[in-house]
Chains A and B, each alone.
Chain A
Amino acid sequence: MVVGSPTAREPGGSADPPVEQASGRSQRAKALVLALLGSWTFVVGAAILAFWIVDALIWRILVPYDPEAFASATLQAPSLAHWFGTDDLGRDVFSRVLAGAATTLTVAPAATALGVVGGILVGLFTGFYRGIADDIIMRIVDSLLAFPLIIIAVLVISILGPSVTNVILVIGIVFTPIVARTVRAAVLAEREREYVSAARLLGNSGPYIMFAEILPNITGPVAVEVTIRLGYAIFTSATLSFLALGIQQPSPDWGLTISIGRAYLQIAPWEVLFPAAALATLIVAVNLVADALRQVLEE
């Protein structure tokens, strides 16, 4: 399930002599960008992702119709006036597809950010200090991973009630231990290295070493984990919307639209097929970026 390799480390790493560190770092960054631009999976993925991010920010300018305005022309097939047709309430499907990116691209990054920040904190502390807390947390991770995320989310959201905040919370909290595991594995490898012992001998405090010394050296695996988690977050939040446990009507959210529109699949397939295609392109784009990033960082 965890696709990212926890042992991947930034090429070069901390082996560079400290004097050349500044120029070495910018050179490495340059090499990294060049390698990414040379990978067509990254270029295609990033282009599609950039399209949807821009769309999520400025859809208000792009939409030809108000995505929430009802009209009498319901369930119209795609035409010149309505490129993607109209839905069961006469709303323009093209406008709703453009507007629908905003919710997905708010919920999923927020949930990912929550999980990544939590995961970095927990991973750094458990990997650096080890001890009983480490054992207990790793057991919790194992039992969490033993359960399909959707089932956990269904359980929690049926208690707390369906809402955007609850979707972000449940995905973020489930992601925390998963990210923590990747971070911990990277920290375990780093803490044995000379620069950490040197920092200890200099009398630096534990938190300082963790955040100022180790964290910058594990950005590679963390970056890969972030993109992979973002893909899963989009997957999960869209699925929860589809199960009517996330964003509620009349939002043009893609998962929600598909859930409602499937009743009209026989007579107006465009109402669901266009949002489905939009969601598919976004998710595949994120995964292409994640895969390219992993490959480039591992080489």
Chain B
Amino acid sequence: MWRFLIKRAGLALVTLLCVSVILFAVAQVLPGDVGRAILGPWATEVQVRALDHQLGVDRPLYERYWTWLSDFLRGNWGESYLLRRPVDALVLDRLKNSLILGAFALCLIVPTSIWLGVVAALSYGKWLDRCISIAGLSLIALPEFVTGIIVLAIFAVELGWLPASAHVPGLNPLSWFRQLLLPSIPLMFVLFGYISRMARAGTVESLRSNYVRTAILKGLPRRTVIWTHVLRNSLLPTITVISVQTGYLVGGLVVTETLFNYPGIGKLVLDSAIGHDLPVLQATVLLVAILYMVLALAADLLYTLLNPRIRLSA
């Protein structure tokens, strides 16, 4: 089991290193002339050169890559070109906001989707199953901005129940719902499709298995069979899907945060890419990659801990 996890961690590190090289390469092409981009078209050539030198963008590539990576690892993420603020405070603050939004969406949708997925599997082939499956299939497919704009039109404009642009909520749980419910709906729709589909497939499979048939034949009540025999096994693949989809969340956040004007990391990626704000862009995307890898590893660990077949082999 440990060998498996160490191997996965090694692979994750290699992937991260690849991401950092790609990101660095992108950052080299992206700005064209950094000094010129910051100072504008009317600055003199001498001023541009001086700024380039001050920012260190006139040194050889490998040296800059190394400086950048070691600085990043030491927590020295530089200063935003546009906002003239330290990158670490900015990015971490935005990350915190996005984690609040993402966690809110996950907390609401994971139990709901698992529940509906299991319900669909228990009524396999009936109309309830069809409805849940078709709803999931359609909701996965809809872009976040389409569902987002529709809920905005209904709940913020037409009914006026919730604000049209979201702010970071305070400590009051009521304000969480008020601020986060609308922007998290588009995310929840997509997640619902994936998670409920996995929960349904897992449940259908374990319902057909021999051990469940044995449990039913030996006269156990239906409730006991479902809770102790079916759910335990059917939820295993669901865990993997949740971790993969948490990675997706970051992509979804770019769109929802833009639509709802929520100050999170997704909006930061878009704004810094459009504004060619390299230090911010690099730090944000690398952080997202690290976060994603950690989540994937956590899911692997959880999966091995919960699955005796993997835990006890090796």
Complex contacts, B143 vs chain A, CB 8 Å: 235, 238-239, 242, 255, 279, 283
Query: Is B270's CB within 8 Å of the partner chain A?
Result: yes
Shortest CB-to-CB span from B269 to chain A, Å, is 6
- A151-B288 in contact given A1-B248, A158-B276, A243-B270 (Cβ < 8 Å): yes
Interface residues on B, range: 35 or more
Say whether B142 contacts A262, CB under 8 Å: no
Q: Find out whether the CB atom of B26 lies under 8 angstroms from the CB atom of A159.
A: yes
Residues of B within 8 A of A262 (CB): 149, 152, 259
Q: A276-B149, A287-B138 are in contact. Are A159 and B255 (CB under 8 A)?
A: no
Residue of chain A at shortest CB distance from B144: A239
Additional 14 contacts, C-beta under 8 A, given A235-B141, A283-B146: A146-B292, A146-B293, A147-B292, A148-B248, A151-B288, A155-B281, A158-B276, A258-B145, A265-B149, A269-B157, A280-B146, A283-B142, A287-B138, A287-B140
Q: Are A151 and B285 in contact, with the CB atoms below 8 A?
A: yes
1/0 per position for B225-252, CB-CB distance to A under 8 A? Answer: 0000000000000000000100110111
**B98-157 CB contacts (< 8 Å) to partner A:** 134, 137-138, 140-146, 149-150, 152-153, 157
A154 to B248 CA separation, bound complex (whole angstroms): 15
In the complex, chain A residues whose CB is within 8 Å of the CB of B14: 139
SS class, residues of chain B in contact with chain A: helix
Can you list 17 A-B pairs, Cβ within 8 angstroms, ordered by A?
A1-B244, A41-B134, A139-B18, A146-B296, A148-B250, A148-B252, A148-B254, A151-B254, A158-B276, A159-B29, A238-B145, A238-B146, A258-B146, A258-B149, A283-B143, A284-B137, A291-B137
- Knowing A235-B141, A291-B137, the reply to whether A159 touches B15 (Cβ < 8 A) is no
Determine whether A57 belongs to the interface, using a CB cutoff of 8 Å to chain B: no
Q: Is A23 an interface residue (CB 8 A)?
A: no
Let me know if B273 is at the binding interface, CB within 8 A.
yes
A286: CB under 8 A from chain B? yes
Chain B residues whose C-beta falls within 8 Å of the C-beta of A149 in the assembled complex: 251
Cβ A158 vs Cβ B146 within 8 A: no
Known: A148-B248, A159-B29, A276-B146. A143 touches B19 (CB 8 A): yes
B274 contacts partner chain A, Cβ-Cβ < 8 Å: yes
Residues of A in contact (CB 8 Å), total 40
Contacts of B153 in A (CB 8 A): 265, 269, 272-273
Decide yes or no whether B258 CB sits under 8 A from chain A: yes
Let me know if A273 and B19 touch, CB within 8 A: no
Taken together as a complex, chains A and B put the C-alpha atoms of A272 and B250 apart, in Å, by 25
Of all A-B residue pairs in the complex, the 8 with the closest CB atoms, nearest first, are A148-B251, A158-B273, A150-B251, A287-B141, A143-B15, A284-B138, A242-B145, A269-B153
Question: What's the minimum C-beta distance from B280 to chain A, rounded to whole angstroms?
Answer: 12
A146 to B18, CA, bound (A): 11
**Given A149-B251, A235-B141, A235-B143, A273 and B15 touching (CB < 8 A)?**
no
Give bound CA distance, A288 to B133, whole Å: 11
Determine the distance from Cα of A279 to Cα of B143 in the docked complex, in whole angstroms: 9
Produce 1/0 per residue, A264-285, CB < 8 A to B: 0110010011001001100110
Q: A4 on the interface (CB 8 Å rule)?
A: no
Chain B's nearest CB lies how many Å from the CB of A57? Answer: 23
Known: A258-B149, A279-B146. A239 touches B255 (CB 8 A): yes
Q: CB-CB < 8 A to A265: which residues of B?
A: 149, 152-153, 157, 164
